[in-house]
Structure 1
Amino acid sequence: MAKTAPEQKAVTPATPAAAAASPFEFHVYGPRNLSSTTWRDLLRSSWKNANYRRMVIACFIQGVYLLELDRQERRDERTGALAPQWWRPFKYRLAQALVDERDGSVYGAVLEWDRQAALCDYIPFRPAGAPAAVVALRGTLLRAPTFRRDVTDDLRFLAWDSLKGSVRFAGALAALRAAAGRLGAGSVCVGGHSLGAGFALQVGKALAKEGVFVECHVFNPPSVSLAMSLRGFAETAGELWGRVRSWIPYYGGSSSSSSQAADAGGGGESEEAKAMCRWLPHLYINTNDYICCYYNDAAAGTATVAAGGGGGGSASGKAVAAAAAVRGTGGGGARVARMLVASKGPTKFLEAHGLEQWWADDVELQVALNHSKLIDRQLRSLYAAQGRC
C-alpha cells in the first residue's frame, strides 16, 4: 500500500531551471498526451471519454500525495508547490484539504470545479460529464512524519477488513456527504489509491446505505486481510457442511421451508440486481500487484472483453447493460462492480502497485465481467440494506 518515488535518471541539466525541476513535476511525471480542459470541451466533452476520466482522477489522487509531500518539505505557492499542477490544467481548485489532526498530515482533498479559472479560458460552464467535486484520497507514504498513522490504518484493514474505526474514515465520509448534499450526488466523485482506495470504497458504501449514490473509482484497492481470509474459510466450511446435511435423509419435516428459502433467494437476487444498477464502483486492478490481485478471484465463470478504460457514474448505462448480459449468460449472479484489469502494464510489484500506470498512454485494460468473490463479500451488507428498502 506504499507510494514510492520514481527512479531518477542521471542527466546533466542544460539550464538552472532544469536543475531545479522535481521528478514529480506534472510535465515530467504526468501523462504525456492528456489534454487540459478548453472551450472545445463544451462542444465535445473529454470527460465523456472513459480513458480521460480514469487518467484525470488518477492525477487528482497524485495531487493529494504531493499535498502531503509539499507540507513535509515546506513548499507553498511562492516556493514551488507541486500539488496544484495536478488539478489546475483541468480547471479544478482545492476546496478543502482533509487533515489528520493527530499528526497534521494531509490524507485527502476535496477538489471542486474552478469557475473563475474556467471563465479566464472562455469556458462559461462545466463540460458535460465533468464532476462538480472530486474527493481524492491517497495511500500510504513511507515517510517518518506520516508513517505511524498510515501504517496503523494498513494494519487495521489487515486485521479487520474495515477502516470504520479510523479518524480518517470519519473525515472522508463527512467531506463526501457534505459535497453530495451541497452539489448533488450525481455531480460528486470519490477516488483513491491503495489504502486510499480502501477508504474510498468503504465511504462510498456507507453513503450508498443511506441512499446516496456517488461515483466511485478505486485504484489498487487492498484485498488482503486476516478477517476476510477467516470469513472465507468459515463460508467454505459452511458450504461443505450443507452438502453433508443434504446427503442425510430427514424424516418428519416438510419441504416447504426449503422451497420458501429458494423463493426468498430468488427475490433477493432481484433486489441485488437493483442495488447493482444504483451503485456500481469502478475498480482498477493489476494482477501483478499482490495487494489488490485477489479482487480478480471469481465466484463463478469469468469473461473479459477489451476496454478503453474506466467509466463515469453519470454514464453507467453500458456498465449496467453489461452486468445484465452477464446475468443472462450464467455468470453466477449480478455483477457487483465494474472491474478493469491491466492486461498490458507493469509486471514488477512496486510498479504494478503504482498510481502512475493508470495515467500511462500504453496501459491496456480489460473489463472483467465476473462475480468477484471478494467484492461480493465486502458489499453484502449493502445489498441487504437496499433489499429491505
Structure 2
Amino acid sequence: MASEREIFGFSGPLHLRVVDWNNPHHRRSIAASLVQGVYIIERDRRENRHGQNALAPPWWEFFNFQLNHVLIDPDDQSFFGCIYELRIPDHYYYNHLTQNYPKYVVAFRGTINKPGNRTQDLKLDLQLMLSTLQQSSRFQLGLQCVQDLVWKAGDPARIWVAGHSLGSAIALLVGRHMVRMSIHFETYLFNPPFSSIPFEKIKNEKLKNGARIATSILTAGIAAAVNINSIKPHQDKEFLTLAAWVPYMFVNPSDPICCEYIGHFDHREKMMSMAGGKIGRIAAQNSIASVIANARGNDCDAFHLVPSAYLTINKSPCQEFKQAHGVHQWWRTDVHLEYKLHQYR
C-alpha cells in the first residue's frame, strides 16, 4: 500500500494551481515537488506500479512539466534522477523573459533506506562522507546530462538543478563543476549533508563556538603541516570563482545531517578576521578529511564547503528526524522560515 506522502492529491502543494514564477515560495515548492517526483518514480519501479497505477506523474504534471529523461544507476538499476521539461509554447517563452521559470529541471533524489535501494545508496552516503562522491557513476551521469542540456537549451539561466539529501550533494557537485566552466544555473539544495560533526546541535554557545574554532585551527594546522598550498596551488582562485555562484540552500535546525550550515557561515566570517584571515581562509576551503586525502595523493575537495549560499532555515518545531529531514516541509505554507544571504569576500 502506498502512503499518503507518496500521493500528490494528499500531500502535494495543491495550493499552487496558479504559479507565479517570480515568487520564491512557488519556485521552492515546485523544485521540491520535482525532487519528490524522483523518489516516487523509483518507488513506482520497485513496486511495479505502471500506467494508471503509477503515482509519480502528478508530481510534475500538476506544474505543466513533462518527463524528458530518467537517470539510471548502472550498479543497481535504480532511478536516481529525472530531467523535466516545462511545456510552455515558444512564443510565451520568448515574450516573458522576465519570468524566473526554467525550461529544464534536473532533479536528484536522496537515500532510500529500503530493500533494493539500501545497499547502493548507503555506499554513496559513505563516499559522500569521505569526499569521494565525485568518483561515483551517479555524479558522472548527472554532470553529463547537465552539460548536454546546456548545449541543448543554449541559455543556462533556463536550467535548474535540484536535489534532496544525497541528491543535493550530487546537485552541489554538478554546480561546482559547471561554475568552473563559467556556467551558472539556479540550484536548489534541500537538506544538503554537511560532512562534519554537527556542532549546531550543541546547546552551550561557548562550547559550540569553541569546538568550531578548535576545528578550524586544527584544519589550518594540518594543512600547513602537509603544505596544502603546494598540493593545490590554485585553490584560492577556484574558491573565489565559485563565490559568484549562489545556490539556494534549505536547512532545518533539527536535522543533524544539514544543520551545521546554520552556524558554519557565521563562524567562517569570524575566523576570517583572525590572524589576518589566513586560518579562516584555509578552514573555509578545506576539511580535515580533504586535507589528509590530498596529502596522500588523492585529488579531493571538501565540496560541501560552498563559498556563497542563500540560506533558508525552517524554524518551525519538528517532532522527529523524518519530519526535519523530509522534502515535504519545503512546500508547506504554515512553516516559519528565516533567510540570509552569505557571500564569500
Same fold by TM-score, threshold 0.5 exceeded? yes
Contact 1:192/1:198 (<8 A) preserved: yes
Q: Tell me which structure has the larger Cα radius of gyration.
A: 1
* TM-score where L is the length of structure 1: 0.65
**1:283 matched to 2:249:** yes
Between the aligned partners of 2:241 and 2:170, the Cα distance in structure 1 is 24
**1:69 matched to 2:43:** yes
Between the aligned partners of 2:92 and 2:265, the Cα distance in structure 1 is 48
Tell me the amino acid that sits aligned with residue 156 of structure 2: A
Contact 2:110/2:167 (<8 A) preserved: yes
Between the aligned partners of 1:154 and 1:239, the Cα distance in structure 2 is 26
Tell me the amino acid that sits aligned with residue 82 of structure 2: A
Between the aligned partners of 2:120 and 2:109, the Cα distance in structure 1 is 13
Give the match for residue 294 of structure 1.
Answer: 260
Give the match for residue 337 of structure 1.
Answer: 309
1:186-205 superposed matches below 5 A: 186-205=157-176
> How much has 1:346 moved relative to structure 2?
2.5
Tell me the amino acid that sits aligned with residue 350 of structure 1: K
C-alpha offsets along residues 34-65 of structure 1, whole Å, 9 cap, x if unaligned?
A: 2245xxxxxxxx01100000000000000000
> How much has 1:298 moved relative to structure 2?
3.3
In the alignment, which of 30, 33, 45 is matched to residue 56 of structure 1? 30
Give the match for residue 348 of structure 1.
Answer: 320
In the alignment, which of 157, 180, 189 is matched to residue 209 of structure 1? 180
**1:24 matched to 2:6:** yes
**1:97 matched to 2:70:** yes
Distance 1:274 1:100, change over 3 A: closer
Contact 1:301/1:370 (<8 A) preserved: no
Tell me the amino acid that sits aligned with residue 133 of structure 1: Y
What SS does the corresponding residue of 2:308 show, helix, strand or coil? Answer: coil
Between the aligned partners of 2:16 and 2:64, the Cα distance in structure 1 is 14
Tell me the amino acid that sits aligned with residue 76 of structure 1: H
Distance 1:335 1:146, change over 3 A: closer
Distance 1:124 1:241, change over 3 A: closer
> How much has 1:235 moved relative to structure 2?
4.6
In the alignment, which of 363, 366, 378 is matched to residue 338 of structure 2? 366
RMSD: 3.3
Between the aligned partners of 1:156 and 1:369, the Cα distance in structure 2 is 29
Distance 1:232 1:65, change over 3 A: farther
Tell me the amino acid that sits aligned with residue 362 of structure 1: D
Between the aligned partners of 2:335 and 2:74, the Cα distance in structure 1 is 37
**Sequence identity of aligned pairs in percent?**
30
Tell me the amino acid that sits aligned with residue 276 of structure 1: A
Give the match for residue 167 of structure 1.
Answer: 137
Q: Unaligned 5+ residue runs, structure 1?
A: 9-21, 38-45, 243-267, 304-331, 377-382, 384-389
* TM-score where L is the length of structure 2: 0.73
> How much has 1:273 moved relative to structure 2?
6.5
Contact 1:302/1:370 (<8 A) preserved: no
> How much has 1:301 moved relative to structure 2?
6.4
Q: Unaligned 5+ residue runs, structure 2?
A: 198-211, 224-235, 270-280, 285-305
Between the aligned partners of 2:132 and 2:84, the Cα distance in structure 1 is 26
> How much has 1:91 moved relative to structure 2?
1.1
Give the match for residue 236 of structure 1.
Answer: 217
Distance 1:241 1:283, change over 3 A: closer
Number of residue-to-residue matches in the alignment: 282
Between the aligned partners of 2:77 and 2:241, the Cα distance in structure 1 is 41
What SS does the corresponding residue of 1:110 show, helix, strand or coil? Answer: strand
Give the match for residue 328 of structure 1.
Answer: none
Tell me the amino acid that sits aligned with residue 29 of structure 2: M
**1:154 matched to 2:136:** no
What SS does the corresponding residue of 2:192 show, helix, strand or coil? Answer: coil
Moved more, 217-226 or 163-172: 217-226
Between the aligned partners of 2:78 and 2:264, the Cα distance in structure 1 is 37
Tell me the amino acid that sits aligned with residue 344 of structure 1: S
Give the match for residue 14 of structure 1.
Answer: none
Between the aligned partners of 1:151 and 1:197, the Cα distance in structure 2 is 15
Distance 1:173 1:335, change over 3 A: closer
> How much has 1:80 moved relative to structure 2?
1.9
What SS does the corresponding residue of 2:117 show, helix, strand or coil? Answer: helix
Contact 1:345/1:362 (<8 A) preserved: no
Between the aligned partners of 2:219 and 2:267, the Cα distance in structure 1 is 22
Contact 1:58/1:358 (<8 A) preserved: yes
Contact 1:283/1:337 (<8 A) preserved: yes
> How much has 1:275 moved relative to structure 2?
4.7
C-alpha offsets along residues 91-147 of structure 1, whole Å, 9 cap, x if unaligned?
A: 1111000001222100000001124xx69xxx9547621100000000011111111
Between the aligned partners of 1:71 and 1:275, the Cα distance in structure 2 is 37
What SS does the corresponding residue of 1:109 show, helix, strand or coil? Answer: strand
Between the aligned partners of 1:234 and 1:28, the Cα distance in structure 2 is 45
